[in-house]
Structure 1
Amino acid sequence: MTGAVSELGFETRQVHAGSIVDAEAGARVTPIYQSAGYVFDSFDDGVERFAGRSARRAYSRNDNPTNVVAARRIADLEGGVDGVLVASGQAAIAMALSALAQAGDHILTTDRLYEGTREMIRGALRRNGLEFEAVPIDADEDAWVAAVRPQTRAIYAESIANPLGEVADLALLGRVSARTGVPLVVDNTVATPYLCRPIEHGAAIVIHSTSKWLGGHGSSIGGAIVDGGRFDWTAAAARFPHLHEPRPHGAPSFAERFGDAALGAYLRSVVVLEHGPTVPPTSAFLLLHGIETLSLRMERHVANAVAVAAALREHPAVARVHYPGVGDGQADKVARLLPDGAGSIVSIELAGGRDAARTFLDSLRLVSQMTHIGDVRTLAIHTGSTIHGKLRGEERTALGITEGLVRLSIGIELVDDIVADLRQALDVVPSRVLEVVRA
């Protein structure tokens, strides 16, 4: 199979899409092409490769065969036309936005984003001259349209926000994109293409931290950018002139040569090549093995998360459970956008605040206390003192990050074992917290 979207089912494509059979040895599993560069056939062949007139690769900084298979497979599963693999999820965000905007441009985001993304927005991306504006995630269509300016180059959202599980109405944002001619960029890491495919709702670009559920095993870092192939870059030429400028060596512009797939080609040939966020082919190899079982794992992740959320809701030490569509007014959005499940992040607020969170986390036996999500193992972290630790108290409160908030990434272990460990740790909380108060 090539990387193109086929008529085969998702479960088949996660195994076969984009795969290659090694011409020399006939290996069925995609090999690790551990090579920095590739031999030219001749002087003229080298000229053609560097001029972009040859389909053959020149250098592994942006075009390693192992990485290309992984990128094409992710693009296929998302329903896109092209994919580019990069070194991390953060790199995927930075490269995608760099391909769309330059200093002085404006980007709209929802007000519910992963804190690492918000930190990059406040820091490196602002220093590079990009202006960001947050719009409430539940704002209506007209409010979003009204926020668009002539300088706006992207609308950015997470399909399921980390850590509280707010669901972006991608269908609404897709309509905003269509009305304004501004591409919608969606971080689909938490949902994965098995649970949600943003391109079907109008997204132009989808990004992933492949270190999470796509890989699933927590053994490698990576990111991916998918070009949906449905955005009309020609109609938006005034916003994106760099896609329409003739290339050096007399080559046609990206829009002329690649049409609706212009952004993916520009990402690979210019942005990623120039910035160099290369992912090692060994990491891409591990990622491919993770993707092959994505559907199976996501079914188990979701089933376990639903069961954990229900079990913890009854515990007296838990003041509130956050899981999309359960008691949070999001049932309609979840039913429309996430009919097969709302991911496997369950966040809990402990009634005893920070001290209760410390006691709970230090009492866990099976569950690992660490920063990561999307692992086959169940993980836990107190976000207020770690991921959100650089924010002032009022800033955390505005984001819903309470002193007792603990984020759980539910794994695929036997759910009874997960629940038992969480409960035994919660059972310690009341007595330990009471002792601290009395002291």
Structure 2
Amino acid sequence: MSRSAKPSLSFAVAIIAGALAATPSLAQKAYGPGVSDTEIKIGNLMPYSGPASAYASIGKAEAAYFKKINEDGGINGRKITFITYDDGYSPPKAMEQTRKLVESDEVLLIFQALGTPSNTATQKYLNTKKVPQLFVGSGASKWGDPQNFPWTMGWQPTYQSEGRIYAKYILDKHPNGKIAVLWQNDDSAKDTLKGLREGLGDKANMIIADKSYEVTDPTVDSQIVALKDSGADVFLTFTAPKAAAQAIRKVAELGWKPVFFLSNTSTSVATVLRPAGFDNAKGIISTAYLKDATDPAWKDDPATKAWLAYMDKYFPDGDKSNANNIYGYVAAQALVQVLKQCGDDLTRENVMKQAASLKGFTSEMMLPGISANTSATDFYPLEQMQLMRFDGEAWQLFGDVIDASTARK
């Protein structure tokens, strides 16, 4: 090659390089706080102590799944650093720990912080700071309000939808029933009770008694006695796991035989039904959107077998009969999907954009027919559920999958 050809070749290379640099697919990386070429920092709060500590395994299950993802090479080459703190199910503590995650740890987002009270305490702060409060660990309807809180998105079916599903079943099967309700004095149970009342419509007077309790109360025995004495023959509990187990035991002790409904968040065999006594829990009705590893129906299911093997490897201390471990696994899968969709644009803005762009996302541990779908105006990812009944050994699904999207408000 002649000396005079070299400048032309260099010029041509420069032109090509410039063209490639301008190609959208090779656009520069965009990172928010907590992100680098090798890391994505995710923040989380869990009640590892306190009155709602039965939910603590959710955080452990999520940590186990992220460990698996990291061992498999991470997300687009980046490893997840999962920073999870104990808030004791205390709103002031939740606020303190959230500030630490955002201002000291500098996480990209808050993922799956658990509980309506804790998330209520931090929602305005996170939205003011424009930090994603993503896939909130609570079914309160307030997590689906993109117009007023564009940085907050729920995950599970809403409590109001669940209440409406129970109302429909009661009207169909027990139209002359007398209903009593035990509910935790917070927004989550109030939401479920609201859904129940709205679902009953002009038959809302079927509710002849209701009693609330505080999550810090040592027992709910006095409330159960009063509700039995009301003469009700249909009983619904919208409670956390500890109170749910107490209620099941007390109803049995009193010899009360109502049609018994248990809120979806307290259906764990490990933390509720086993402590309450399987015989006492027989016949209880609830809702599901995830598979139950204790259900014989999934014994030969390849996905359930794979989940059990995953638990053996990544969370060997986890109780396979605890539905919270499946919940945490599936929620973590959803976050991984969002982060994969983000590609190299790992800004807080794009995280929310991708979270609002889920189309038919499903996990092998979701029930058939269940999928997550979102849009810029729909921040309710999961809106389908199916009824189930405890047969004394395991939950048994019945009826069709119900799409509650038209009944969520």
Q: Fold-level match, TM-score > 0.5?
A: no
TM-score by length of 1: 0.29
